Amino acid sequence: MAPDGQTLAPNVYDAEPIPEAARAEIDRLLRSGDLFRYTAPKDAPVALLEAEFAGLMGSRYALAVSSCSAALFISIKALDLPKGAKILVPAFTFAAVPSAVVHADCVPVLVEVGSDYRVDIADLEAKLDDAQAVLISHMRGHTSDMDAIMALCDARGIPVIEDAAHSLGTTWAGRKIGTIGRIGCFSFQSYKLVNAGEGGILITDDPELAARAVIMSGAYEENWKKHPGLQNSFCHWQNKLPLYNMRMQNLSAAVIRPQLPEVARRVVQGRTNHDYVARRLNTSPWLTVPPALGPEDRAPDSIQFNLTGFETDAQALAFQRAAKARGVSVQIFGLSEGNARAFWNWQFLGTPPDLPMTRAMLMRACDTRLPARLTRPELDYIADALISAATEVRG
């Protein structure tokens, strides 16, 4: 609270402290210098994290790596697609996602995303027969219609990778996001639900994919013996696959493990906060928070909303300035210079395709951080600021 009793604009950038339990383990690792995941004969922090994460998700295998982008890259490699294979990717995602496809010698084909931030199923279907894999990015944790996607892909035998970087804790018809496709990938980068600065993990129930991914992540020589349940597959693949060395180190695992028991609380808190602010924003004729699809239970740590009835980009930018003047930062994905989530900025893909639906969405879709730790007065501050900024510009 400010001295005059008014609530100051909340700080939405500071992270939650890392649980105290991480300290003793980090101290132990620093004393012993045991930072490499394959030095200890067993129970290295990274191996324990993999077992715990697989348990949390109900998956057979988990592989911790250096980032979610690395997990996506290794997942694509593990599918053993021919060079130049087309992989469908939503056009609303982070630049690192089509980059992972390029890195894996495949060609990303962008699929339209609607004003509800979800994959346009008709466009996906139209592009599917040419594709050899589908990488569904659950951008900002928004879940596309996984029933429709899986039905279309299963009918053609096309594998689905889930980019669940920002979806830890989200469920679809009671199933955990990341467990619906062949492989699910998660991020531990600082802006995600579990914060290790950097880090990623992939999960799968497929022993062949798991074995191939483990070896390519950098389990050289017989280090694969330290991954449970895969002996036969490993013997087959050892020395036949490149080693990309994208391993996670023990310090990261020590930071992540004590946060896993916090996930359930962060999910409930984040969802409660999000839904509260969403209800308030939807009372404004100028702001629209699209509802989640029926089967989805979300785990948001930010809020996305569309500017409704803002005819010009100038009006949208005036809203952004008016919110900023009230202390609340809003990103309009398509209106910030060089934004990594606007597909026309992905120049490494060549000339951007014509995707009018996604483009229209990006030009009016706003993004505001809403970390789980915010209090009700702080949420009200943000909602009030956004509503009054919209009214100032349009009302």
Identify which range of 67-75, 77-85, 370-378, 380-388 contacts ligand PLP by CB under 6 A. Answer: 67-75
| Residue 255 interacts with ligand PLP (CB under 6 A): yes or no | no
Interaction between residue 160 and ligand PLP (CB under 6 A):
no
What is the distance between the alpha carbons of residues 320 and 52, in angstroms, rounded to a whole number?
42
User: What does the angle CA 34 – CA 40 – CA 46 come to, to the nearest 5 degrees?
Assistant: 75
Distance (Å, whole) CA 346 – CA 39: 40
Shortest distance, position 70 Cβ to ligand PLP, whole Å: 7
What HEC string does 164-212 produce? Answer: CCCCCCCEECCEECCCCCCEEEEECCCCCCCCCCCCEEEEECCHHHHHH
Nearer to ligand PLP, 144 or 284 (CB): 144
Task: For residue 264, give both structure tokens.
Answer: 């359930």
Assess 196 for contact with ligand PLP (CB under 6 A).
no
Stretch binding ligand PLP (CB under 6 A), from 62-70, 207-215, 217-225, 235-243: 62-70
252 lies in the binding site for ligand PLP (CB under 6 A): no
Mask for 88-127, x = binds ligand PLP (CB under 6 A)? -----xx-xx------------------------------
The reply on whether position 25 binds ligand PLP by CB under 6 A is no
**Spatial distance between the Cα atoms of 289 and 287, rounded to a whole number of angstroms:** 7
Q: Which parts of 197-236 interact with ligand PLP (CB under 6 A)?
A: 200
Place of tokens 């996602």: 97
Best CA proximity match to 159, nearest among 57, 60, 86: 86
Element (H, E) at 368: strand 365-369
Q: Which residues contact 81 (CB under 8 A, 6 or more apart)?
A: 87, 104, 106, 132, 133
184 binds ligand PLP (CB under 6 A): no
Candidates 127-135, 163-171, 325-333, 365-373 — which segment interacts with ligand PLP by CB under 6 A? 163-171
Which C-beta is closer to ligand PLP: that of 45 or that of 200? 200
Residues that bind ligand PLP (CB under 6 A): 67-69, 93-94, 96-97, 137, 139, 163, 165-166, 187, 189, 200
